Amino acid sequence: MEQLRRELAIGFDIAELIPQLGQLRIDVFQDFPYLYAGSLEYEQKYLQAYTLNPLSMAFCVFDGDQLVGATTGMPLSAKSTDIQQPFIDRGLNTDEIFYFGESILLPDYRGRGIGHLFFDVREKHALENGFKVTAFCSVVRPDDHPSRPVAYRPNNDFWKKRGYIEQDYCCRMSWQDKNEAEETEKELQFWTKEWK
Ligand SMILES: CC(C)(COP(=O)(O)OP(=O)(O)OC[C@H]1O[C@@H](n2cnc3c(N)ncnc32)[C@H](O)[C@@H]1OP(=O)(O)O)[C@@H](O)C(=O)NCCC(=O)NCCS
């Protein structure tokens, strides 16, 4: 960890990180459970949204010039209606919720506490900016999914240990799986933590 450089970018400053962030998302999310067949073109559009909100953040970890890990977040109120709606339906104030995007780390850098650091940095940013709830969603795949590696380790215990509660509400997002010819809709479950 000592030799790794850390960088926190906020709002428009995220723009210059987009090419590397997009490539890292494609590299990490091609694996189960995401199985994402991404393109840099899609990534450019998706990540552009982070540059448009002054409270968006991207925290990056570099080994030399190479981006090896990153985590992102933005106010829930800046996300699409599909993502906000489950919270609105439950009478929650979306202005108080900070939404975590991805946490992505190349396999060689895992198991050294960087995943915890990603939570620490995002939670600090959310609380410093007055948010009362932090939230994220996670793709739901069946336990017997044919692409699930035998040694696959879900993050659920990690998230619970961080104080996050698995909610019974979901949203849907579409992307193309590696073995699919076109996009299909996936169910993603919300996890939230309330800060008193
Ligand atoms: C999620 C991810 C960022 C976590 O990064 P990480 O640096 O490996 O995480 P940490 O080293 O901080 O460990 C976090 C917890 O994971 C668990 N963990 C980490 N490595 C583990 C291992 N080899 N075996 C079992 N549990 C492990 C532990 O519970 C650990 O917490 P603890 O040390 O307090 O017990 C990384 O695994 C990753 O990029 N995964 C693929 C993408 C993904 O699924 N992202 C999450 C949703 S966007």
Q: In this predicted model, what pLDDT tens digit does every residue of 89-114 receive, in sequence order?
A: 999 999 999 999 999 999 999 999 99
Q: Per residue in 127-177, pLDDT tens?
A: 999 999 999 999 999 999 999 999 999 999 999 999 999 999 999 999 999
Closest to 136 (Cα-Cα) out of 65, 52, 62, 76: 76
Domain carrying residue 95: 5-194
> Beta strand 97-105 with 133-139: parallel, antiparallel or unpaired?
parallel
Rounded CA gap, 58 and 122, in Å?
9
Ligand 1 centre and the CA of 107: distance in Å?
10
Q: What is the CATH number of the domain that holds 108?
A: 3.40.630.30
Minimum-distance ligand 1 atom for the alpha carbon of 31: 41
Ligand 1 centre and the CA of 161: distance in Å?
12
> What total of structural domains would you count in the chain?
1
| Cis check: omega of the bond before 33, within 30 degrees of 0 | yes
Minimum-distance ligand 1 atom for the alpha carbon of 138: 47
Minimum-distance ligand 1 atom for the alpha carbon of 109: 7
DSSP E strands in the chain: the ranges are 5-10, 57-63, 66-75, 97-105, 133-139, 165-175, 184-194
Pocket test of ligand 1: the residue of 26, 116, 118 to mutate, having most ligand atoms within 8 Å of its CB, is 116
